[in-house]
Structure 1
């Protein structure tokens, strides 16, 4: 019994840490300025239409949830971080989108079985630490024959490589936590969903990011607005040499990926499937 209690407390502490990390900086600026079209791409890939009941898991400030609501779907946007949900509410109000916002853990969703026609996530659920638990929840709340749609950063793409760059400077992950970019590997996704889905489609695509005049501008943007990057820098704040080394590595990463004009292509895996009836 003591071991079970300890595991529950450890999970609660981990989720609290994740919630605080995503509240750092301002992720809504990242979503709005760098990848606004990804949410619309996911909504289109899932063929979301008016009257459907749609759940956006780890929705952040509504990058996919708001476009889904604007086509007339009955949308619930859920996320672990209430600060992001509040920004999303304000954004939805400005755009005339009507939807529900719920604080929720992707690994333990507060919804009934088979509640939704479409369950989706745009670079969101990949950051939940326990992948099998997350996949099980996506399947559980989707009705038989319903659609599951995901956009996840690939390990080989720019954001996956950014996380690889950050890893040596970050605290070690807790036991059982899995790297987010695994969700961008086709075989990993197949293993997670197994025989519980049909019509599993996966294709790698890119989004063009033409926001940064220099590699250093990219680095400074991410150290200002992106919670995971800010958290890593806080971890090494007392070590000037390691901080300077990470500064160089992040700028070098952007330099390697930038084209002649400075634009970058960030690769992601688009996943669509139907829950087996």
Structure 2
């Protein structure tokens, strides 16, 4: 087997595992019930308006794509996982939003150079394993003068801490994969985009989450619905001691971030204008 063939087969295997992970549970419900406003926050920050051509990368069930369509834009929601796209179609129909849903890999977008006025990703592209490859694609498909807009969990925030907690219970990442919360580090994202963008605006914000009455309620909800958490538990299902340890770790983490049933999850909001 040639090096090129091995690399291609390895990449396909990695992407297949990503699709399977995000098809677990019910991420569409998580996005809709826990963080429903974040997509609209990104759409407003990027200045999306009527007639704009918008691509939502790693769109999931359309947390940003649907608000962009409701703002009058012509939108394509792209994602690696067909199950999330199907859920997004249902949500869009319920809300009266018209847009296209297309299966696509954030690391190899099937779109022309400069095809879109706005290229967005709300908690999506951060999970693609090779950050520079994904960033290059975001820039490539954005027209000169167009806007790239991103929302990502920060390493220091609750979700960043949760992902780090679960890492000990998951198989090692594939070679070359980088931690998702690095997209929540301003210096990292600036380095990924480089001098291909100007007018970079960065803000650390928090989203208020009051969906859970207790740390245990949070754990049980994410254990049932959030793909990475479901995958972590499935991987250790035959080891009761590790299951109990993960149960305890998630409750302890949620407890440190919860006060009177309210949590505040930090994210990085970044917008930039494509140079050229």
Q: What does residue range 1-277 of structure 1 map to in structure 2 within 5 Å?
A: 2-259=2-259, 261-277=260-276
CA distances 1:96-143 after superposition (whole Å, capped 9, x unpaired):
111011000000001000000000000000000000000000000000
Give the Cα–Cα distance (whole angstroms) in 2 for the partners of residues 92 and 34 of structure 1: 18
Name the Cα RMSD after superposition.
Answer: 0.7
Which ranges in structure 1 are unaligned for 5 or more consecutive residues? none
Could you list the runs of 4 or more consecutive aligned residues of structure 1 that deviate by over 3 angstroms after TM superposition? none
- TM-superposed CA distance for 1:201, in Å, is 1.1
CA-CA distance at 1:263 after TM superposition: 0.3
Task: For residue 59 of structure 1, report the CA deviation from its aligned partner.
Answer: 0.5
CA-CA distance at 1:228 after TM superposition: 0.3
Helix, strand or coil for the counterpart of 2:271?
Answer: strand
Deviations 1:205-263 (A, max 9, x none): 0000001111000000000000000101111111111110110000000000002x120
Instruction: Return the alpha-carbon distance in structure 1 between the equivalents of residues 197 and 150 of structure 2.
Output: 14
Alpha-carbon distance in 2 for matches of 1:174, 1:62: 27
Residues matched between the structures, number = 276
Per the alignment, in what secondary structure is the counterpart of residue 252 of structure 2?
A: helix
Query: TM (normalized to structure 2)?
Result: 0.99
Q: Distance in 2 between matches of 1:240 and 1:83?
A: 30
Q: Helix, strand or coil: the match of 2:213?
A: coil
The TM-score, its normalising length taken from structure 1, stands at: 0.99
